Structure 1
Amino acid sequence: MQLTDPASSRRPDTETALATIGSRRDFPPRVRTLLEGVLALAGSQLERSISLSLTECEQQLFKLAEKARSSNEQHGVFESLREVKRARADVAPRYLLHFESTLARLGEERKPANGEALPRFAELALVDTRDLEENITLQEIAAKAEIRHSQALYALGHRFGVLAGSPAIDAENLAVGPQRLCAGLRYATACIGVSLEHRLVMYRQFDRLLMAELGVLYSSINDYMVEKRILRNLQLTLPRARVAARGAGPVAPKRDPGAAADATIEKAAPEPSAAAQPPAETPLAHDAADDVRDSELFTTLRELLSGRRHIQQTAAPPSPATAAAATLSSYVATAEDLQSVLGALQCKPAASMVLGGRVVQRSIAHLKQDLLNQLRQFTPDGRPPQLGEEDADTLELVGMLFDFIAKDTRPDSASQSLLTKLQVPVLRVALRDKSFFTRRSHPARQLLNAIAETGQYWIDDGDGESDRTLVEKMQLVVDRVGAEFDGKVELFDEMLTDLSRHMGMLARKAEVAERRHVDAAKGRERLDLARERAVGAIGERLAGRKINRFVRTLLEQAWTDVLALTILRQGEESDAYRRRIDVADRLIGDGVATPDVREEIEQGLAQVGFHGDEAQAMVRQLFSAGEAAGADDSPASRTEMALKLKAKTRLGEDTTTTATTPATGETASHQGTRMAPIAPPLNAAERQMLERVRTLPFGTWFEFVQNQQGEAVRRKLSWFSTLTGRCLFVNQRGARTDERSMEQLARDLVRGQARIATIERESLIDRAWHAIVGTLKQITGHAPLAPA
């Protein structure tokens, strides 16, 4: 059940005073003139878009009225329609006043003033459900606009930074940025008293019409700034963010689970800022020293491969005659031959294979066999084809790279199929351009890393169905590479940018979804604590008392919820709480039906979800039962009312969610103040682990073992409460997965069923190369490679 304000009510007027450009006497004349120019330039376009949006909103409301399923619903829609028509003349002026105020606050404290930006939901109050929905809707609108116009906002951030005499201003704090424009939208429409549902309809029209025109607005403002000689030669080179979060490295050798958990917690706890990120992020730029070190990597890899071949030949040397005959009779394929054959293979679908009764994806070894078979058409006199030594090393290294990536990929998964399709294009790049091995910023290397990591953490996380939109986007990117790559690596760069943009949008959505779950968890905790106090107050009064069964049910069910809600809203020291406790005492005592008691009961029941007729019927039955003291307590009407009370959805229960939490075996909606069934006490190691868990920062990533094969899924500890012991875990997409107790988490860590995910500082591809080098050095007897 959700609690919302009445449709016609709005929040109290707490609007802060708006500033004007003219009131900023500290602005230099040139800055004031430029800001006034921006205001004049944007004013006409914003006013026109607002008018169109309100007109479209009226049309949408009229359509809703036509489709209304009842006269009451239709009446409510028409009331909203009349309200929009009444107040629409005030919306555009209010919006422009707010817009001018954001311009006038240029250079002030970077943290937005109260009411100047969208709230971040520090705490969830059940009475503010409408605020939460509005916040989320506006955040999503702003996030989409920021992604869509990131280049223009980048330029505007630098130019407004010049006006403010500060570094470049980020999009969130930019006066003309989507976040501030959405805050202005909320301010401007506060004068329209409509229901939450109809307000969201209005926001959607603003998103479709006003926000869609931001590109034209931003272009006009940038042109105006250039005309006024503000960073006329600014180069729009956006830094590209890493597409996907880093994952955990290879599983460490087996050791004592408790010791392993101790070590991982000691490693994670001192770095809250790192743990708070989805597992880790690679820096946007590498030191020049990194590329210098990497330039030696390909040579090192070839030397190690040569050493391995020498060991293999020593173990099983071919006869001299056989080796000489093979050398004399074979034909070494040229680079042109290889590219021609691989280009043909690139156009063909990568066929699956059956090995040991299982369907597997094509490997590089299989691709090599296909390559040699196709090369026969280029060999003179039927001589067998052979790869040059460097080409053979390249193919083997690419094969080892894909084999390493496949270890962390689920067989027959969507990401495994995508990686298989990239085999030929990546091999063609590596054969032609050895900087693929030595340059971390190589476009093909970065795209391969992005596909692998995105598949691992966003698609193959073992949490139900994959995000079809993301799978389709990745499929489109990979298919374009396969269809269009002809040797120009710029295509990889273009596809990486396209995927990065899409991942940025998903990351924003995940952040909003996670924040919503955290706020809901905080709200449930506050409700649980309030209900616990209400249950205690009612239980104390009912102890040892024999009263009417219907009255007892009412007090233990509905009236307990009324008291809990009152504690949430006004607190236990409020007059409202004292009045409602007094009602409980009256019902337990004399049960006199005074008008003020009847009114208090009806109002309280209405606040916890009882309709007016229901509440009145309850009151009538309640006092008829009280007046019939000593009579039989089993009339059908009272029994029916008691059953209705017990079946009624309790305050804060989510009727749409019945998922059982792994830790407790209870449904989330009925856990109440109980976090878990009675469990054996923690042992010494588990108690010590519990204390360490309490020190972990929000945002720490865990790996939970799913089966006896050791397969694990990654989950983010988004929030926990030291009061109730409840922990909230989400996946990469921000969706809630588990709600377990801190005690259960401590047990799992000690038993090895959970572990803190390693915070990786390198990309998946970088880790792969170091692992490959380490393996080759072990084979050839060299010392392991030190991490770069």
Structure 2
Amino acid sequence: MIGSSQEFGLDPRLEPARVLEALKRLSVERLGAFPGVLYAPAERDLAEAGPDSYPELAGLGVLRARGATDTMNFRQQVAQGFEEFRNPFIRSGMALGLIDEAVIDLHLAGQRLSEILEQRYERQLQSLRVQFDELAVGMRVPAGPNPVSPGRLCSTLVAALAPGGVSEGLGRLLFRHYQSQLVPLLDALYPNLGAILNRAGYGTSAWMPASIAGFSAADEARETHPSAEATPVLPAAPAVQPQWYGAPVPLSPEPLARPMPGMRTPAVHSTELEPLREQLRLWRMERRSEGARALSPASSYPGMAPSQGSRQALSTSGMGGPVREFDSRELSSIASVLQADPPDVFARALVTSGRLADAMRSYLAEGARRLGMHPENTALSADGEDAVDMVALLFESLFRTHALQDRARRVYARLVLPYLKVAINDDSMFVERMHPARRLLDALTEACEDNTGATPQDRELLERASAVSQRVVAEFNEDLSVFEMAHAELEELLSQQRRRVELQEQRAAKASFGRERLAQARAAADAVLQRRLSLVPLTQAIGDFLTTPWRHHLVQTLLRDGEESTRFRDAVRMGDELAIADVFAAHADGAGLVRQLLALEAPLTECLASSGLDATAASHGLAGIVRGLSDPDAPRRLRPMPAPVRDEPEQESRLWLAGGTDTLRHDPRIAAELRALEVGSWLRLNDAQGEPISVKVAWISPLTSRLLLVNRRGMRVLAASVEELAVLSGEGRLVIDAGRSPFEAAMRELQEQLKIAVGQH
């Protein structure tokens, strides 16, 4: 807190570590599009050059394929320069080595460009050298190199391009475009860095005032460098020292970071969200009147005064001072201060539905206190309340509607404050499908849902999701391209996962089709067996043979040859003739019995062999049949039908349908809607314990019209008929989400919950 530092006689200049962090954030945002932005103009030049440039085009294709990773590494290297300035041990640990011959041309091109840029910016670099030296003294570290010097930036590009095996011609072309795009950026970046250091009190005489005057205000910055909408500027120290926990201290009119290209004007509100905002405000008003905590305004949370967004004329707080609402820039700055903190508070809040908004408000109150503003004298505006509640409800809804494991909770907890900053400045995230932050949240949900880390691929996906969330926290200020880059990095691994899932779905579909064919064959065989057993009384030996080996033989023949085949008709005839042999035995017709058994010897041996018996065992089986028929007075009776073999899908359905599948009462309209689903449609299913599962229709049976449902890992969840699924839908355990992304499904559930809650009061 600036004011408290002055009160205790400390250096009036801003904390040097914070100044360095502002410089790093600005540099990463302005330079973070390389080397990806070089590929499109280079490709146009190569296309115009004709067929001789095919090797260079092929090399450029390799670079494009790894573009997201290279761009992220470039941003890391820019940030690493500032970390090396901060920590002299990192600098001393850097080792020198020989240059690989394969990339020596790249290094030569980088050296040439570095010399050109150092001549062009000689005076600016000298001024920055003085300022960085003073900053190093303030940080109590040895003076280090300029983190964004031309040499550093050129070597960073070389490091990004080297793994791609860039040819000499392609390297020269890329460095030419690098120079043309880097010069306009450095024309603005170096004076802007000087302005930040100057305003913080470091090297105030290093620059001519006219050189950095155009970078002290956002309007002049836009005029000086039209390609950037605004340049981040650190606020100056307040002229009047605030009282400790006294009257609230307004933040500087200039935020810690301003919107970059890709971020719309701050506090842009979509008219499509007005009904939702109205429901939120009604809910807060009703809950406040009932004294409830859920979704209530800031008065329900420790350390923050009641919100004036409730439209009540609050003029004073319990401390006796005036209450002031935060504007969007102040709230965003508070969130930025807290963004890098551990997410434990939000992770715990996500365990219990309805507590995340409480945790966010309390945390924002703590952030306001860190900036020297007593929370009793400040409050969230109505728009700030809406942003907090919408983000909290969105994240809670995602956990209610998707099977996100405990390990994913920390990944989402890290993103609470970055997404709050997005919602504060531009709520189009909630209505625009292609919004970068929205696409990243969809990709994270796809990566984490149903992912227990059981396989190396699943563990790699969880680790990538965690790394992506950490990068968003570390790099996001106001530039939405951070979300685009994070999404591209995660999408690269997700595309491989989708191919594995597709193969798993195909295996599950083949297995389900095999089960259904087996169940169909068993049913047809049982129909034949029941007819045979009901005709005449049989001895124990003949009855046992028909109900076991012959029944199995019928099933195998149906599966291999089909019901219309000659082999199946022969198998059925064998059973009938064996029953006739039993009749001969009952009438003591020895000659007829012998003729019948001799004719049946080959079919009986084949039948026993199909049950897995070898020749010796088959001979013993035949001998047992002969012994059973040798006694004309042996007892004979009508044999009962053995119990049917339970079909696995039927057992599976009974687990999901508490009342069984014997009497299914369902809505025909829902059944018709389910019957119209196609392969690839998504559903949300709640199991018997109420746990949500996102399932996809992976296959529709051509035999029974059953739908095979799999989870996001491609693993079988349920195979059920349309009528059985309609029963689940009627119980509220199945929701059709065809075409909806996880974000859309969560928003729909959020809106339904609000409608129900408002309607209940």
Instruction: Classify the TM-score, shorter chain.
Output: 0.3 to 0.5
Greater relative contact order structure (CA < 8 Å, 6+ sep): 1
